[in-house]
Chain A
Amino acid sequence: MADDKTNAAEYWKANVRLIFGCLAVWAFVSYGCAILFRPLLAGIPVGGTDLGFWFAQQGSILTFIVLIFFYAWKMNKLDQKFGLGE
């Protein structure tokens, strides 16, 4: 039982760590590249405008998709590793 508990606690910790990592990227591309850092990226041209604009209207959405699939894939591996899957 005690083993189960430590095992579960570690699984949860690993999950929370993974979430933090993914959300850092999530915030970086949307609030960062697309909004706050746009003036810094103004020098990088993308089709008639700059990289910040591209992130706001295309790049962040594409990153979001990759993030969710990455998270789902990583969690499946965690589920198996800790024997907590279904």
Chain B
Amino acid sequence: MSQFAINLLFVGASFALYIGIAIWARAGSTKDFYVAGGGVHPITNGMATAADWMSAASFISMAGLLASGGYANSTFLMGWTGGYVILAMLLAPYLRKFGKFTVPDFIGDRFYSNTARLVAIVCLIVASVTYVIGQMTGAGVAFSRFLEVSNTWGIWLAALIVFLYAVFGGMKGITYTQVAQYIVLIIAYTIPAVFIAFQLTGNPIPMFGMFSTHTESGIPLLAKLDDVVSALGFRDYTADVDNKLNMVLFTLSLMVGTAGLPHVIIRFFTVPKVADARWSAGWALVFIALLYLTAPAVGSMARLNLATTVYPEMAGQVENYEEAAQNPILYEERPDWVRTWEETGLITFNDLNNDGRIQMYNDAADYSDRGWEGNELTVNNDILVLANPEIANLPGWVIGLIAAGGIAAALSTAAGLLLAISSAISHDLIKTMINPKITEKGEMLAARISMGGAILLATYLGLNPPGFAAQTVALAFGIAGASLFPALMMGIFSTRMNSSGAVAGMLAGLICTLLYIFTYLGWFFVPDTNMLANTPDNWIFGISPLSFGAVGAMINFAVAFAVSRVTAAPPQEIQDLVESVRYPKGAGMAIDH
């Protein structure tokens, strides 16, 4: 059977499973459509949250970023897990006690203001759409490779499939589909990692293998990797970072963004009790950690494998790296996986010095003494995880499994986000604000139409993305963290916070963050409309646009605090409401109102 047929088989079988579950669990009422009827066990919910959470960015892109950035990109690991600590302690239990469908529901009711509700809807849509763009980018990479179509077709195919099951399934379908997707994606991620860790270090557990001895060279794997990459002019893999301020702020942005992203928060509305919301966050993190603890091993081992594929003499015990660098492989003798990825355009080769060999090194370094005239092999970060089994010569079924896993990751998150977007429009905007008398049918229809619209917009932007999947996603976190997280937290922890404060804070956080991002990445991400080049020299205090969410959140807190002190305190019944969300007692059935 050809690899193409195996890929089709695995991807097709996993789709049949998800669609089957979606049909079996078809949403009956609007309540089911949004929150799965409120009876989901914490472990089940944790698993579904993990699938919802681990998107194309985590599955496809993150290991690639770790591979290329080494220690510096640990921010993604800590940011996307540490947010759950804040979520479990500062938001989830209280929002569950409050017991409504959506994030704008809480903000609108807590701040007794439709303006606040509208601002929350806008923040939610901006953050979620940005996030979906990242998913589309990632799904496009996965589809284009495994179904052997162009990147553009890959993205359109992904859009069609997301549309089909998000629109017909709703939340209940999504909860159980996502449990299935979690299982598919974690198996797909772990199996190649176990094989590779065993090949390289003799230790089959990737998170330990990474810190073990590299069998072929006899020195620790990370030390070997440092030697190899520095021989090619790169920074050491484990090298410390100079700009610690940016690293701290970036990690913080990802953490508060995690806690502020609506599609994650609504998951905690579906557990039966307040205590379960806390446990559920813990379980979600356990399931997420299974992948996140493996990712750094995948990244470092893939980086080493890639380098030793190009420079076979660097694999074993090396006396002189200068000599080992002299004999990279001939382009004609490149492995098959390089050939197949070249077809997608995600690996490119350009023989600058016309010696027929592949020189892969840091373009910023000068190796004219070695007869090198520039880096000749460009490898897109996003392909590393997908290409990993091929790089390590694993059997065809592992490659098929990775294909199914990568696509599951992208689709599950896209579906969860689309649900958050559609509920914001149909429930918060139309039903609560514009036409309270709308029928259940009308509301469902509005939800489905807004999902369709969001998919089209995200697909368009996925075709013209502002960065790698994980980087685009990081922007979404900045936006959510700067706008929604502070409003939610102050709504719970400050009885004095009033509607003017919250609205002013959210707007200040959102606008400052967007302005900073657009300045460097172009207005509304349209290429070439940026006012300053996106380079560290231009960043204010060295803070990258990706890290600005943390600053935006601080601006949000400060503005909200100042405005609330000079305006009237919230009415007594709101202060009582805030008191009541603090105590689990009397939470009642999930979402029965």
Interface string of B57-100 (1 = CB under 8 A from A): 00000000010000100100110011011101110010000000
Interface residues of B in 406-421 (CB under 8 A from A): none
With A35-B247, A86-B584 known as contacts, the answer to whether A57 contacts B85 (CB < 8 A) is no
- Judged by a CB distance under 8 angstroms, whether B399 is at the interface is no
Q: Which of A22, A35, A54 has the most CB of B within 10 A?
A: A35
Do B74 and A34 have beta carbons less than 8 Å apart? Answer: yes
Complex CA–CA separation, A69 to B85 (angstroms) = 10
Interface string of B83-125 (1 = CB under 8 A from A): 0111011100100000000000000000000000000000000
With A23-B89, A26-B82, A61-B78 known as contacts, the answer to whether A68 contacts B285 (CB < 8 A) is yes
Interface string of A43-57 (1 = CB under 8 A from B): 000111110111011
What does DSSP make chain A's interface, helix, strand, loop or mixed? helix
Binds A, one of B270-278, B342-350, B366-374, B465-473: B270-278
Q: Looking at the complex, which one of A12, A35, A67, A83 makes contact with B251 (CB distance below 8 Å)?
A: A35
- Judged by a CB distance under 8 angstroms, whether B281 is at the interface is yes
- Judged by a CB distance under 8 angstroms, whether B279 is at the interface is yes
- Judged by a CB distance under 8 angstroms, whether B438 is at the interface is no
Chain A interface residue count, CB cutoff 8 Å, equals 44
Q: Which residue of A lies closest to B42 (CB)?
A: A72
Q: Looking at the complex, which one of A54, A64, A76 makes contact with B85 (CB distance below 8 Å)?
A: A64
Complex CA–CA separation, A8 to B240 (angstroms) = 47
Do B240 and A38 have beta carbons less than 8 Å apart? Answer: yes
Do B282 and A49 have beta carbons less than 8 Å apart? Answer: no
Complex CA–CA separation, A42 to B77 (angstroms) = 20
Do B74 and A67 have beta carbons less than 8 Å apart? Answer: no
- Judged by a CB distance under 8 angstroms, whether B579 is at the interface is yes
Q: Looking at the complex, which one of A31, A48, A53 makes contact with B71 (CB distance below 8 Å)?
A: A53
> Distance in Å from the Cβ of A56 to the closest Cβ of chain B?
4
| Residues of B close to A42: CB separation below 8 A | 240
Complex CA–CA separation, A47 to B77 (angstroms) = 19
Do A69 and B275 have beta carbons less than 8 Å apart? Answer: no
Q: Looking at the complex, which one of A36, A52, A65, A85 makes contact with B248 (CB distance below 8 Å)?
A: A36
Binds A, one of B186-194, B214-222, B538-546: B214-222
With A39-B240, A68-B281 known as contacts, the answer to whether A48 contacts B293 (CB < 8 A) is no
Do A61 and B89 have beta carbons less than 8 Å apart? Answer: no
- Judged by a CB distance under 8 angstroms, whether B238 is at the interface is yes
Do B82 and A30 have beta carbons less than 8 Å apart? Answer: yes
Complex CA–CA separation, A11 to B579 (angstroms) = 11
Complex CA–CA separation, A52 to B71 (angstroms) = 10
Do B285 and A47 have beta carbons less than 8 Å apart? Answer: no
Do B286 and A65 have beta carbons less than 8 Å apart? Answer: yes
Q: Looking at the complex, which one of B71, B86, B219, B584 makes contact with A84 (CB distance below 8 Å)?
A: B584
Do A47 and B88 have beta carbons less than 8 Å apart? Answer: no
Complex CA–CA separation, A50 to B77 (angstroms) = 17
- Judged by a CB distance under 8 angstroms, whether B169 is at the interface is no
What does DSSP make chain B's interface, helix, strand, loop or mixed? helix
Do A64 and B82 have beta carbons less than 8 Å apart? Answer: yes
Do A8 and B583 have beta carbons less than 8 Å apart? Answer: yes
Complex CA–CA separation, A11 to B585 (angstroms) = 12
Do B278 and A46 have beta carbons less than 8 Å apart? Answer: no
With A64-B81, A68-B285 known as contacts, the answer to whether A11 contacts B74 (CB < 8 A) is no
Complex CA–CA separation, A18 to B589 (angstroms) = 27
- Judged by a CB distance under 8 angstroms, whether B384 is at the interface is no
- Judged by a CB distance under 8 angstroms, whether B132 is at the interface is no
With A62-B289, A72-B275 known as contacts, the answer to whether A22 contacts B89 (CB < 8 A) is yes
Do B82 and A85 have beta carbons less than 8 Å apart? Answer: no
| Residues of B close to A11: CB separation below 8 A | 582-583
| Residues of B close to A67: CB separation below 8 A | 85
With A8-B579, A47-B211 known as contacts, the answer to whether A61 contacts B77 (CB < 8 A) is yes
Do B84 and A71 have beta carbons less than 8 Å apart? Answer: no
Do A47 and B222 have beta carbons less than 8 Å apart? Answer: yes
Do A35 and B248 have beta carbons less than 8 Å apart? Answer: yes
Interface residues of B in 233-271 (CB under 8 A from A): 238, 240-241, 244, 247-248, 251-252
Interface string of B209-233 (1 = CB under 8 A from A): 0111000000111111010000000
With A67-B85, A68-B84 known as contacts, the answer to whether A34 contacts B78 (CB < 8 A) is yes
| Residues of B close to A36: CB separation below 8 A | 244, 248
Do A56 and B583 have beta carbons less than 8 Å apart? Answer: no
Do B274 and A48 have beta carbons less than 8 Å apart? Answer: no
Complex CA–CA separation, A56 to B238 (angstroms) = 11
Interface residues of A in 1-47 (CB under 8 A from B): 8, 11-12, 15, 19, 22-23, 26, 30-31, 34-36, 38-39, 42, 46-47
| Residues of B close to A84: CB separation below 8 A | 583-585
| Residues of B close to A72: CB separation below 8 A | 88, 275, 278-279, 281-282
Interface string of B17-35 (1 = CB under 8 A from A): 0000000000000000000
A-B contact pairs, 21 of them (CB 8 A): A23-B85, A23-B86, A30-B78, A30-B251, A39-B240, A47-B210, A47-B212, A47-B220, A50-B238, A52-B240, A53-B222, A64-B289, A65-B285, A68-B84, A68-B285, A69-B282, A84-B584, A85-B275, A86-B275, A86-B585, A86-B587
If A36-B248, A61-B289, A75-B275 are given as contacts, then 6 extra A-B residue pairs at C-beta distance below 8 Å, sorted by A number, are A23-B85, A42-B240, A48-B226, A56-B74, A68-B281, A86-B586
List the 6 closest pairs (A to B, CB-CB), nearest first: A47-B211, A48-B220, A56-B74, A48-B222, A72-B278, A48-B223
State the B residues within 8 Å of A (CB). Answer: 66, 71, 74, 77-78, 81-82, 84-86, 88-90, 93, 207, 210-212, 219-224, 226, 238, 240-241, 244, 247-248, 251-252, 273-275, 278-279, 281-282, 285-286, 289, 292-293, 296, 579, 582-587
